[in-house]
Structure 1
Amino acid sequence: MEKYQRIRVVGRGAYGTVHLCKRISDRKLIIIKEIPVEQMTKDERQSALNEVKVLSMLDHPNIIEYYENFLEDKALMIVMEYAQGGTLYDYLQQKGDNLLEEEQILHYFAQMLLSLQHVHSKQILHRDLKTQNILLDKKKEVVKIGDFGISKVLSSKSKAYSVVGTPCYISPELCEGKPYNQKSDIWALGCVLYELASLKRAFEAQNLPALILKIMRGTFSPISDKYSKELQSLILSMLHLDPNKRPHINQIMAQPILINSLMNLYTDIGMLPCTRVQSPLSSLPGQARGATGGGGGGKLSPRPGSATRESLASLVMDSSGGLPKPPVLCSVYYWGSGISSPMLLPLPSSDTQVEEVSIGRTQKAAVTKNGRLFVWEAPTVGTDSMLPGATEGQVPAFVPRYLEGQSAVTIQHVACGDLFTACLTDRGILMTFGSGANGCLGHGNFNDVSQAKIVEALLGYEVVQVSCGACHVLAVTNDHEVFAWGRGDNGRLGLGTQESHSLPQQVGFEETEQPCSVQCGVDCSMLLTVENKLLCCGNNRYNKLALDTAGSGGSLRHIEEVHTFTPVSTPPLVNTPIKQVAMGTSHTIVITEQGECYSFGSNQFGQLGYNKRPTDGYPEKIPALQGVPVTMVAGGDTFSVAVAAGGIVYSWGKAARGRLGRSGDITDIPQPITFTDQDRFNVTSVSCCHGNTLLATCPVQQPGTPRE
């Protein structure tokens, strides 16, 4: 809410509170609907948040404009246009017995027709048209339809069944429980037209049964004789009991009685602005704009009282006897891109406890124990392109910054892709920011986003885990549903095609398969089921997905790629329960349920952890890790990392540019990495991307030592 100033509460409803606010940047009055989504069930959340989805699909001068949404104090805030003239219902109530002129009625009605035509063109039913949901501008000239909270996007069947809407405006087919379509909105609009002409509702009664009976009979008082026969006939046709005999909206607009009103709208009000407010990209890093997409770090600001790298180092690492050395609650290490030994990254404060880390092409992100998300800002000069004369291993000044605007949201999970980031709240709401290239943000477009924005298409689901590849994303829900979006070539989305999607698409599975975690590679994807089965899709080059099948003579029949999630086929993983999986660019490492560590794929740089010909193709146990209790694995472009109990971290593969956390060339045998800053620790999270690694640790709890 830092961009808005609250003025007053203007309404309260079943799902939340409506605030009149002022936008600080331009002093414009706007409306913010506050919906406390975390207290709602899945169905309630879907119903309450439907307005966000529908409004974002609509763009018309006679429909309340949608600006943005964000989370604040664990409530969804929907920002939309403010209509200063109030509701049409209030305006008609103020008229008393003074009937409107027919010209004014048709002026209002023509605008409603145009807006409803736009709504229906998007295959959307409003389902709650009434004078209370029709708003006016300050001069009482322009009509704005609002309140799409119970609207419905129709399927290909073009029918809806649920009984919704205000009783006085519901259609006869809805009263009978029959399926309905756009003709029910025509009935409701006919009721509104009648109300404009008579200043009273077409159907009213003392109780609901009597009201339903009146609607089913279609009995209502005629309008005044002061109005034309054409207007009376139009009302009768729109309130016909048989929906098939009600006119289509285009047939209504073709009526001669409306020609003048429609023409006046196009000439007098046709210049009304209807473009949406776009988020400026000026705050994104320079390389994040243009053809290549947006920045991966988002718009950041220092946290008040946060420590700089120098001050943090003086507190944590100084042993000269000046300041007392505070207890270390957490450490985060980084290596790669020329940094050949683990570098201790600064934290926002000395009491920060990091639960999870993730690294992308340019981003380094972390989630704290208390649910805060922060990133380390990249140095001014990238380490991948150091200046002439710079020495390898030169330490850049990474600075931690909390993500702006997320102080009231509890983040529990983060995943980084190439130039974009996804984060997940403790209530299963997914948010993304950074580059919009390839539609990886899931917002239905290719726009860059500087601050974390809710993936609106998944608001009705409780997401439990998300994984980002270089240019695609997979998410899994608590109901074992999987959604995929981004680039689709090689079939990496598992949707059966190679099409790309900028909105989340649900992935189909057999009823017996229940996905519980997902993993995105560079051009492929994997998922684990609750029964520890491993399914894969995408590019199977070097058999990195273990999809090749055994043939005669021990050779493998190569599968180039698959477009749907398919169980692994290469022995011995065919019937082996898998506990964890990690993918590099061209190789994969898995931990089985028995604690054994297998690797397969390309071994050009020794990234499989043993001396094996790349043409063999069969997954094999990593000899040096047999008998070692491996708890985590991660894969980079040409190297691998494994974490064993007791905080021992192994790396192997290509050592160039510090990939292995030590100097050297190629090591095809896992070897421990030396950490000089503290003796014993437990690893809480590890992440690899390209040639870089990010690793979070916490100190080993000594016996008898009280917990912080």
Structure 2
Amino acid sequence: MESGEGQRGKAGEDEVMLWSWGAGSDGQLATGTLEDQSLPQPLRSIPSSHPVSHMACGGAHAIALTSNRKVFTWGRGTHGQLGHGDLGSCLKPKLVDFLEGFIIHNISAGWNHSGFVTDTGRLFMCGDGSFGQLGNGDNQSHSLPEEVLFFLSKRVDQVACGMRHSLALFRSGSHGSSIYGYGSARHGQIGVQLSRHRRIIIIPEVILGFEDSRIVHVCANGDHSAALSAHGQLYTWGKGFNGSPDCHQPQVFTSSLTFSQVALGWNHTLLVSDGQVYMVGRMLTHVHRSTGEHLDSKMPFFHGKDSVGSLVLKRITNLIGERVVGVAAGAEHSAVVTDNGTVMAWGWGEHGQLGLGDTDDRISPQRVGLGSKGSDSCPLLRVFCGSGFTFVAKHVLDS
């Protein structure tokens, strides 16, 4: 699931900085209700004195990191993933008091767990730990952020939370990187080959293969993991797409393209190269409710020769002519932002997560209207997807 820097002015009290739509059954839309929304809803539930600079969206909860490094969470809290010290859900953003003494610079939201990295490289996690995905050597869940003690002598750069697993990235000098995986390992998503009867790792283990690569980004979703190198090379591992075999160790995507962004869904991967979007895997695993057809079989693609395993890279042709600057993937829907501030979405739409005013699926990118203060004249937008919901944030530039 990335933004520029420059001059920022003070946000006005009536200025809309955040929009949400899609599934709202656990309060994940921050609208104050439990209703789904099929059109973008302008939000003012985070004070304008705390403009959002980054977000992370999980199964049914969300995390917002503000420009002044405050952390807000909301949505489903039944496993403690909101970090408030209880198991209650929140219909509106609530400050994570525990993190007030730290400067947070990286966040991630999994299905029912969350991760927070400080500016000094300390990693805190909370939520569901039943698969060891909190990394502290047990299967306990925690409702307050707890430091991952394994990394006390290391400096964590990024954390990525999947459905039941986690990744932690470290920079090893100026040229190499280390990635550790922990949690559910059934499909190879933590990048470590295990014995036949060992399905989880409760203490982080290093993933081999990155010693000579400078990794700049890691991501996880569902049972998949991916990493991007500084040279734009993609590594993937985890559950196989389209019935292909699971991969228990990182494999390099064979491509002549240089990738700048990657986003993982449950059954597809989105990639950005030179402002264009490409896809690997199947976007919609279910069939259309009316026709019984797989919708993505009709989606217009350019098929390339680049591949990973038996899968082929596909260029999404409907975005030709648009230069994409941001990309996000939910369970089975996708969204992009172009350089002129246009938001487009496609895929699974049952909960309104495409923001098009209905619950239909779409086989190709469709423009999302954000209203009078929306994307028509606002190029500084960022998009984030949870499993069945979407957020767009107006990017606030640091002063």
- The offset of 1:512, in angstroms, is 2.9
Residues 1:434 and 1:684: Cα distance change in structure 2 (over 3 Å): farther
Paired residues of 1:599 and 1:608 also in contact (CA < 8 A): no
| 1:478 alignment partner in structure 2 | 171
- The offset of 1:478, in angstroms, is 2.2
Write the letter of the residue equivalent to 2:180.
Answer: F
Paired residues of 2:301 and 2:314 also in contact (CA < 8 A): no
Answering whether residue 8 of structure 2 is matched by residue 333 of structure 1, we say no
After superposition, the C-alpha distances for 1:140-178 in whole angstroms (9 at most, x for unaligned) are xxxxxxxxxxxxxxxxxxxxxxxxxxxxxxxxxxxxxxx
| 2:43 alignment partner in structure 1 | 345
- The offset of 1:484, in angstroms, is 0.6
- The offset of 1:349, in angstroms, is 1.8
Answering whether residue 266 of structure 2 is matched by residue 577 of structure 1, we say no
Alignment TM-score, normalising by the size of structure 2: 0.79
Match of 1:589 among 270, 293, 300: 270
Distance 1:504 1:403 in 2: 25
Identity of aligned residues (%): 24
Residues 1:618 and 1:591: Cα distance change in structure 2 (over 3 Å): same
Write the letter of the residue equivalent to 1:635.
Answer: A
| 2:190 alignment partner in structure 1 | 493
| 2:229 alignment partner in structure 1 | 529
Write the letter of the residue equivalent to 1:578.
Answer: F
Paired residues of 2:108 and 2:160 also in contact (CA < 8 A): yes
- The offset of 1:522, in angstroms, is 1.0
SS at match of 1:686: strand
| 2:73 alignment partner in structure 1 | 375
Answering whether residue 326 of structure 2 is matched by residue 639 of structure 1, we say no
- The offset of 1:485, in angstroms, is 0.4
- The offset of 1:348, in angstroms, is 3.5
SS at match of 2:63: strand
Give the strand-richer structure, 1 or 2. Answer: 2
Distance 1:326 1:689 in 2: 27
Give the helix-richer structure, 1 or 2. Answer: 1
Residues 1:577 and 1:622: Cα distance change in structure 2 (over 3 Å): same
Alignment TM-score, normalising by the size of structure 1: 0.45
| 2:388 alignment partner in structure 1 | 691
Paired residues of 2:283 and 2:333 also in contact (CA < 8 A): no
Distance 1:464 1:355 in 2: 18
Paired residues of 2:302 and 2:317 also in contact (CA < 8 A): no
Residues 1:457 and 1:694: Cα distance change in structure 2 (over 3 Å): same
After superposition, the C-alpha distances for 1:431-470 in whole angstroms (9 at most, x for unaligned) are 0011211111111111121111111101111111111100
Residues 1:502 and 1:341: Cα distance change in structure 2 (over 3 Å): same
- Gaps spanning 5+ residues in structure 2: where? 1-10, 24-35, 79-88, 285-293, 304-309
Distance 1:607 1:465 in 2: 32
Answering whether residue 182 of structure 2 is matched by residue 466 of structure 1, we say no
- The offset of 1:519, in angstroms, is 1.3
Residues 1:347 and 1:413: Cα distance change in structure 2 (over 3 Å): farther
RMSD of the TM alignment (CA)?
2.8
Paired residues of 1:346 and 1:400 also in contact (CA < 8 A): no
- Structure 1 segment 655-670 matched on structure 2, within 5 A: 655-662=349-356, 663-670=358-365
| 1:598 alignment partner in structure 2 | 278
Distance 1:379 1:466 in 2: 20
Answering whether residue 106 of structure 2 is matched by residue 413 of structure 1, we say yes
Distance 2:189 2:90 in 1: 37
Looking at both structures, which has the greater relative contact order when contacts are Cα pairs under 8 Å and sequence separation is at least 6? 2
Residues 1:650 and 1:347: Cα distance change in structure 2 (over 3 Å): same
Pair member with larger Rg: 1
Residues 1:527 and 1:609: Cα distance change in structure 2 (over 3 Å): farther
- The offset of 1:332, in angstroms, is 1.8
After superposition, the C-alpha distances for 1:457-509 in whole angstroms (9 at most, x for unaligned) are 01111111111100001111122111110000111111122641112111111
- The offset of 1:514, in angstroms, is 2.9
- The offset of 1:409, in angstroms, is 0.8
- The offset of 1:368, in angstroms, is 0.7
